[in-house]
Chain A
């Protein structure tokens, strides 16, 4: 594929991440903060998010093991953090799952929490794959 085609593919891939609801405007805000002095800012933030969120997910899972004495307050705190980080990178679908999880926490509904955590982990993994592919394409197209 030549450079022009690659660049088209980058634009198309990027567009669909927004159209399919994976990313929101905050991602564009991150792109605006990228410049010649900080050419990989978006990718750096996303990497940071993924290494940090793995830790958060582990904390959440740990906090859900101790049935029936679940500390819903603690769970909610962890999810509040997770939602905050997701929001900072513009991870729209993940934010939705985080909000649902917090509603289940408020209601003390552990089954709801378990179900939602699974969905959240799926979204987390899907977005990671899509963004990794996107960043790869950007490099290949010489747009990095």
Chain B
């Protein structure tokens, strides 16, 4: 594996797909993999919540194995997007969307809803609740191509939050700032 390929794998987006229909799960998985996303597919909203470490009303932080980074922001599974069917037995896609938006850790993860039925009130309800997109089934490659901007936006946000200094500074500013030349003498100052 070349260095470039290794880096590509590291920064691969991870999408959680939720659909009770076996054929549609296979389809969405293939569509997402074609776009080079890592995919986890589950067959229900409750399995999705379980996977995310959101069980019941309290977020059981400790019950989920920590992902690689010990960073307190990343104690849950690393997921960059959730794409879910609307009509599912038990928990609907809308119910799942609400639970995700109520979650401290996952509320900013983009959620996309899929449905075989074109019901404007349903679509509006989901968008109002915070869904980024609503796809009519069968989902096609042209739909999946719309996901990338949402994923990129999410990543930029993540990278911002990862900076110990939360103020937005251009790289040039940091490198050339007078503070940096003084860090040799000042142990307490963190250099970004």
Contact = CB atoms under 8 A, between A and B. Distances in A.
Contacts of A88: 21, 23-24, 27, 137-138
Interface residues of A, number: 22
A48 B23 contact: yes
Contact of A89 (B23, B87, B141): B23
A87 B21 CA distance: 12
B148 interface: no
A41 B30 CA distance: 9
Q: Which one of A30, A41, A80, A81 has the highest number of Cβ atoms from chain B below 10 Å of its Cβ?
A: A81
A58 interface: no
Contacts of A5: none
Interface in B109-155: 116, 137-138, 140-141
B22 interface: yes
Interface string B60-85: 00000000000000000000000000
A48 B22 contact: yes
Given A41-B30, A80-B87, A87-B116, A26 B138 contact: yes
B26 interface: yes
A67 to B, nearest CB: 25
Contacts of B21: 81, 84-85, 88
B26 A83 contact: no
Interface in A37-91: 38, 41, 44-45, 48-49, 52, 77, 80-81, 83-85, 87-90
Contacts of A87: 116, 137-138
Given A26-B138, A80-B87, A49 B23 contact: yes
B23 A85 contact: yes
B24 A29 contact: no
Nearest to A29: B140
A125 interface: no
Contact of B138 (A29, A52, A77, A81): A29
A48 B31 contact: no
Contacts of A38: 30
A27 B71 CA distance: 45
B34 interface: yes
A44 B87 CA distance: 24
21 contacts: A26-B138, A33-B30, A33-B31, A33-B34, A33-B141, A41-B30, A44-B26, A45-B26, A45-B27, A48-B22, A48-B26, A49-B23, A52-B22, A80-B116, A84-B21, A84-B116, A84-B137, A85-B22, A87-B116, A88-B24, A88-B27
